Amino acid sequence: METTHHRFIFITGGSRGIGRAIALSQAKPGTFLFINYLRDDEAASQIEKEIEERGAKACLLQGSVGDPETIQTLFKEIQRKTERLDALIHNAALGVFKPVSQLRVKDWDISMDVNAKALLLLAQTALPLMKQTGGKIIAISSLGSRRYTPNYGAIGVSKAALENLIRYLAVELAPHKIGVNGVCGGLIETDSLKMFPDIERMKSECLKRTPGGRVGKPEDLANVVAFLLSPESNWIFGQTIVADGGYSLF
């Protein structure tokens, strides 16, 4: 059991994209990072290496958080290393890109399971490890949660559920000194963006109406997460902070 570390952080979907940027922003001496990933072993071992180069410790946890039994297994691993968790960041996301009129039940279920239900089960399972000393729970959302985005219905609806769950968890976990918030990005330059149909046209449309003048980077969201993980954010409860370069102002 590790006792020399003063911060224990669990990140779902932590090997690539936004999750990777969050992991690197938190990789400091004295921090122990549990990095969950789905199947890309190469990306996972790369992030483990980079975390340890920065003086932090990493523990890789493979599995889909869309599966309740997997969540139990992951937490058994975590409990082998620590009796407490200081932060839980739910970044893992999954879904298909197609119009809602064409969604199959399993398309809907996988988005709901990984993007929304997982936060519920992760928070419930993390609670015994967090309520002794307090901590932070942060979930990553996206603008499709609140406005129409072509071919994004399954994910958008699940992110709307996620944002509402953030509010409920924030109220109920506040007595345990656990702060729960979200971060909502616009278009972020990641590998999963390449899966969007017609992405180049979408990017140029996005740029036209982004006052910030560029597409978002994973680090842009990691910076907001870093703020929410800090004591400076302790008076913020149940909010989903939009970091989109001003895109949603139009």
Joined together, the tokens standing for residue 230 give 């800090």
> What pLDDT is attached to residue 3?
53
pLDDT digits (tens, 9 = 90+) for 160-202: 999 999 999 999 999 999 999 999 999 998 887 777 777 888 8
d(CA 119, CA 140): 10
- For the annotated catalytic residues, the residue numbers are 152, 159
Domain limits of the chain?
7-242
What is the model's pTM? 0.95
Report pLDDT digits (tens) over 14-27.
999 999 999 999 99
Nearest-10 crossing angle of helices 41-53, 17-26: 20
Fold assignment, 7-242 = Rossmann fold (3.40.50)
The yes-or-no verdict on residue 220 having pLDDT over 70 is: yes
Per-residue pLDDT of 62-73, as tens digits, reads: 999 999 999 999
pLDDT tens string 77-97:
999 999 999 999 999 999 999
Q: What angle do CA 52, 220, 224 make, to 5 degrees?
A: 85
Question: In Å, what is the CA distance from 148 to each residue of 51, 152, 169, 194?
Answer: 37, 8, 26, 19
Q: How many CB atoms lie within 10 A of CB 171?
A: 11
